[in-house]
Amino acid sequence: MRVLAIDGPSGAGKSTLAARVVDDLTARGCRTALVSTDAFATWEDPVSWWPRLADGVLRPLADGVPGAYRRMDWSTGVPRPGELVRVTVPDVLVLEGVSSGRASARSLLSHLCWLSGGSDAERLARTVARDGAAARTELARWQRFERGWFAVDRTPEAAGTRLS
């Protein structure tokens, strides 16, 4: 199994790119699975949830067995564990989202793609358009967090492909 991580800041276009990659690979007959870090992260827990992804999905798939995780349910406005998502063993796992290419997981990755997506202001405008004006304060706080995260984790520098 190959693992492609598509990482970058919020609003950069990671989900859109990942969906296109999955569609293209699937059209070519490649068994592909997509897992988004958005299914794990919350405003209060932006990155420390990683063991749930590693233990539930990455390790089982690497051993050739299906994985599973509980997607965060935001329907009430307060995130809580929701539906169980099963992940069959693919030829290519596309892992997308903030921190998907983190240093602690790089040995598991076949390739890391960094998507910068423009300035903070441009990305904030896109995320507010996507998530609604009520989320602006949390999204701005999230952007401050991820700037620090990426500086320490050095994700952009580690990427084999960098897109803007």
pLDDT given at position 52: 96
**CATH fold for domain 2-163:** Rossmann fold (3.40.50)
For 21, the enclosing helix (H) or strand (E) is helix 14-27
pLDDT given at position 39: 96
pLDDT given at position 77: 82
Q: Where are the domains of the chain?
A: 2-163
pLDDT given at position 74: 87
Report yes or no on whether pTM surpasses 0.85. Answer: yes
pLDDT given at position 110: 97
- Side chain identity, residue 116: S
Crossing angle of helices 120-131 and 136-153, rounded to 10°: 130
> How do strand 67-73 and strand 80-87 relate by DSSP bridges?
antiparallel
Residues in the chain, pLDDT under 50: none
pLDDT given at position 161: 98
